[in-house]
Amino acid sequence: GHSNPPERPESGIRTIPLAEVRNLGVRNTAERVLSTIPSDATVLLHFDVDVLHLDDMPAMYFPHSDGLTMEQGRSLFEAFARDRRVRLIEVSEYASMRDFDRRAARALTDMIVQGLRPT
């Protein structure tokens, strides 16, 4: 869910604008993305915390006031993490030096645990 288009569209990496994620909804966005991945693929799930809104995730390297709510991020993460093709998960851009009370770390941990919980 980026706010600005990628600088190198010729890279072959497809991104989805934040406006499109909001328009489709996070679950529909996840379903759409997952439907484009071959059934025998191995997937690395990369969750970059700076897609979240500053109010919900103050502990990021590039904070901004436009982004997904933590609940939307949790729903998106869950939809991807529960896909059987996911083999690796990485979380990036978490800035522990900005998380004085560790509220953000707890929120991320809860997101991961909930996302990996069997349905």
What's the pLDDT at 87?
A: 96
Q: Would you state the structure tokens that stand for residue 112, as one six-digit string?
A: 């991961």
What's the pLDDT at 55?
A: 92
What's the pLDDT at 10?
A: 64
What's the pLDDT at 6?
A: 54
Q: 30, 21, 18, 25: which is closest to 82 by C-alpha?
A: 30
Q: How do the pLDDT tens digits run along the chain, 119 residues long?
A: 445 555 556 666 778 888 999 999 999 999 999 999 999 999 999 999 999 999 999 999 988 888 999 999 999 999 999 999 999 999 999 999 999 999 999 999 999 999 999 87
What's the pLDDT at 81?
A: 95
- 76: Cβ contacts below 8 Å, ≥ 6 apart: 21, 26, 27, 29, 30, 68
Query: Measured between alpha carbons, how far apart are the two ends of the chain, in Å?
Result: 26
pTM: 0.84
What's the pLDDT at 3?
A: 52
What's the pLDDT at 39?
A: 96
